[in-house]
Structure 1
Amino acid sequence: MSQQYEHIMVAIDGSHESELAFLKGVHVAKRNNAQLLLVHVIDTRALQSIMTFDSYIYEKLEDEAKAVLANYERQAREAGLTKIRKVIEFGNPKSLLAVDIPDKENVDLIMIGATGLNTFERLLVGSSSEYILRHAKVDLLVVRDSEKTL
């Protein structure tokens, strides 16, 4: 069975693994003539535990996210893609990446980098990849770094 994807979402969090997901996402988007959706979620849960709402912190984080996504957009255009969108959201990354953004943006493939969490770390903080796997309504591709051994 052949699957043609039209709207591919890549979750960008600044990690090496998300960069690998981006690179693979560019190739998959090219093969499918699909729109590439570059998504970064600023985790407000972590910010709330550190301080009360300080607009300067949010603006700085948003500016940094815009710069990172602009760099990825430039790379995707250089690779030959023309249908690219960038999305920056504030909130819980797990639910936003698993359901909210894919529903809103009509995503049919989610691509994320595998985290390097071990079993104990996953118990403490949870794995976004695992959450998305369990809750996403569309196909999910978890990109792993073949150089790393766990």
Structure 2
Amino acid sequence: MSHHYQHIMVAIDGSYESELAFEKGVNVALRNGAELILTHVVDTRALQSVATFDTYIYEKLEQEAKDVLADYEKQARERGLDNIKQVIEFGNPKTLLARDIPDKENVDLIMVGATGLNTFERLLIGSSSEYILRHAKVDLLIVRDSEKTF
């Protein structure tokens, strides 16, 4: 049974793995004639103690996210994709990527890069992709680098 996806969300965090997720996301969107939703979440948990009232840091991070997503959108358009949306949110990436943004944007496929964390690191800080896997209500594709061994 084949499923036709209409709204594909790709989580972009600047990592090599999210770049791989983007590449696959473009291909899946092209095959399905789907909307590609490029999503970046600025993790404010780490910023709260450093910059509680410093809006400059938030504005700078938002502008950097806009620049990165604009570059990805340009690449997707060059490959023939027209239906592209950018989403930038501030907060906890795990919950925003697992439920909030997919609900708001009617996402039916979430694509994320594997974190590459080892077992000890996952135990200490947790993996976003692992959290999304447990809490998402829609299909999830975790993209791995086939060249890496963990």
AA of the residue aligned to 1:119? T
AA of the residue aligned to 1:106? N
**Residue in 1 aligned with 2:70?**
70
CA distance in 2, matches of 1:40, 1:14: 9
TM-score, normalised relative to structure 2: 0.99
AA of the residue aligned to 2:119? T
| Matched position secondary structure for 1:49 | coil
- Cα shift readout 1:49-101 (whole Å, capped 9, x = no counterpart): 32323100000000000000000000000000000000000000000000000
Query: Is 1:44 the counterpart of 2:32 in the alignment?
Result: no
Larger % of helix: which?
1
Alignment length, in residue pairs?
Answer: 150
CA distance in 1, matches of 2:52, 2:66: 23
**Residue in 2 aligned with 1:33?**
33
Query: Is 1:92 the counterpart of 2:80 in the alignment?
Result: no
Unaligned runs of 5+ in 1: none
- Cα shift readout 1:91-150 (whole Å, capped 9, x = no counterpart): 000000000000000000000000010010011111000000000000000000011111
**Residue in 1 aligned with 2:102?**
102
Q: Over the residues paired in the alignment, what is the CA RMSD in angstroms?
A: 0.6
**Residue in 2 aligned with 1:122?**
122
CA distance in 2, matches of 1:147, 1:40: 25
Query: Is 1:53 the counterpart of 2:53 in the alignment?
Result: yes
| CA displacement at 1:36 relative to structure 2 | 0.1
| Matched position secondary structure for 1:45 | coil
**Residue in 2 aligned with 1:7?**
7
Kindly, what percent of the aligned residue pairs are identical?
Answer: 80
Unaligned runs of 5+ in 2: none
